[in-house]
Amino acid sequence: MVIRKEKRKLKYYGTRRWGVGNIKNARGKGGRGGTGKAGMRKHKFTWLTAKHPELIKRRGFKPWNQNKLTGITLREINSMALRQPELKEMQLKGHKVISNGQLERALTIKASGFSKQAMEKIKKSGGEAVKV
């Protein structure tokens, strides 16, 4: 039997291409250096400094045990005190008392921080502000 047409794949044996044109077209996902911001501090750093220097941030030293106080207002403290009429003392460790609102009765508030106006309002209502 006579072979009328050779199979097309035979001409690609022994080459790197196999019908993809330039070899870069056959690489799949490899050779692009990662996705997103991968390599910005390494192999894409030149591009970063030339095109987007605003993305280079210096964060500096931050203590690993830095405690951030969460703010609590006098209005919130007052609403908690109204729900519990027998309450005379509040423990608010890790909170800073802020002077937004008023206290309607005398309370001893023990917290990690106070604003100046909050201390004045607490004393004005007959209470006491104690730093823990």
What confidence tens digit (pLDDT) does each residue in 57-86 have? Answer: 877 777 777 778 999 999 999 999 999 989
In this structure, the answer to whether residues 75 and 48 fall within a common structural domain is: no
Q: Is 3 a member of any domain?
A: no
Q: Is 43 a member of any domain?
A: yes
| Averaged pLDDT, 22-36 | 78
Which helix (H) or strand (E) is 82 found in, with range? helix 74-83
| Averaged pLDDT, 39-46 | 90
Q: Is 62 a member of any domain?
A: no
Look at residue 2 in the predicted model and tell me its pLDDT.
76
Q: Is 110 helix (H, G, I), strand (E, B) or coil?
A: strand
Look at residue 1 in the predicted model and tell me its pLDDT.
67
Give me the domain span that covers residue 27.
9-55
In this structure, the answer to whether residues 50 and 76 fall within a common structural domain is: no
Q: CA torsion sign, 123 to 128 to 129 to 131?
A: positive
Domain count, the chain: 2
In this structure, the answer to whether residues 33 and 77 fall within a common structural domain is: no
Q: Is 63 a member of any domain?
A: no
**What pTM does this model have?**
0.52
| Averaged pLDDT, 44-51 | 92
Close Cβ partners of 125 (under 8 Å, ≥ 6 residues apart): 102, 103, 104, 105, 106, 107
CATH of the domain at 122: 3.100.10.10
In this structure, the answer to whether residues 44 and 80 fall within a common structural domain is: no
User: How far apart are the C-alpha atoms of 75 and 82, rounded to whole Å?
Assistant: 11
Does the structure show a pLDDT above 80 at 53?
yes
In this prediction, residue 97 has a pLDDT band, given cuts at 50, 70 and 90, of: very high
Look at residue 95 in the predicted model and tell me its pLDDT.
95
